[in-house]
Amino acid sequence: MRRVSIFGSTGSIGANTVALLREHAREHEVVALTGGRNVALLAEQARALQAQIAVTADAERLPELRAALAGSGIAAAGGRTALLEAADRPADWIMSAIVGAAGLEPGFRALRHGGTLALANKESLVAAGPLLLAEAARHGATILPVDSEHSAVFQALVGERLDTVERVIITASGGPFRDWPAERLAHATVAQAMAHPNWDMGARISIDSASLFNKALELIETREFFGIAPDRIEVLVHPQSIVHALVGFNDGALMAHLGPADMRHAIGYALNWPLRRSTPVERLDLARIARLDFTAPDPERFPALRLAHEVMQLRGTSGAAFNAAKETALDAFIDGRIGFTQMAQLVERTLFGLDADGALRATPQSLEDVRATDHLARAKAEEFIGTPERDGVALRNEQG
Q: What is the nearest approach in angstroms of ligand NDP to the Cβ of residue 69? A: 15
- Residue number with CB closer to ligand NDP (206 or 373): 206
DSSP string, 138-207: HHT-EEEE-SHHHHHHHHHTTT--GGGEEEEEEEE---TTTT--HHHHTT--HHHHH--SS----HHHHH
Q: What is the nearest approach in angstroms of ligand NDP to the Cβ of residue 305? A: 17
Report which of 120, 130, 95 is spatially closest to residue 110, judged by C-alpha positions: 95
- Residue number with CB closer to ligand NDP (36 or 353): 36
- Residue number with CB closer to ligand NDP (124 or 353): 124
DSSP string, 348-361: HHHHHHHHHTT-S-
- Burial of 167: CB neighbours in 10 Å, binned 0-12, 13-18, 19+: middle
Q: What is the nearest approach in angstroms of ligand NDP to the Cβ of residue 188? A: 20
Q: How many residues does the chain have?
A: 400
Report which of 19, 124, 64 is spatially closest to residue 371, judged by C-alpha positions: 124
- Residue number with CB closer to ligand NDP (55 or 338): 55
Residues 150, 100, 264, CA angle at the centre, nearest 5°?
Answer: 45
CA distance 243 to 254: 12
- Residue number with CB closer to ligand NDP (38 or 318): 38
Contacts of 253 (CB under 8 A, 6+ apart): none
- Residue number with CB closer to ligand NDP (38 or 341): 38
- Residue number with CB closer to ligand NDP (103 or 364): 103
Q: What is the nearest approach in angstroms of ligand NDP to the Cβ of residue 291? A: 24
- Residue number with CB closer to ligand NDP (152 or 321): 152
Q: What is the nearest approach in angstroms of ligand NDP to the Cβ of residue 251? A: 31
Q: What is the nearest approach in angstroms of ligand NDP to the Cβ of residue 219? A: 14
| Chain residues in the site for ligand NDP (CB under 6 A) | 8-14, 35-38, 57, 83, 97-99, 102-103, 120-123, 147, 199, 201-202, 204-205, 263
Residues 353, 358, 360, CA angle at the centre, nearest 5°?
Answer: 80
Q: What is the nearest approach in angstroms of ligand NDP to the Cβ of residue 37? A: 4
Q: What is the nearest approach in angstroms of ligand NDP to the Cβ of residue 14? A: 5
In the bound state, the residue with its beta carbon closest to ligand NDP is: 11
Q: Are 14 and 35 in contact (CB under 8 A)?
A: yes
CA distance 5 to 170: 29
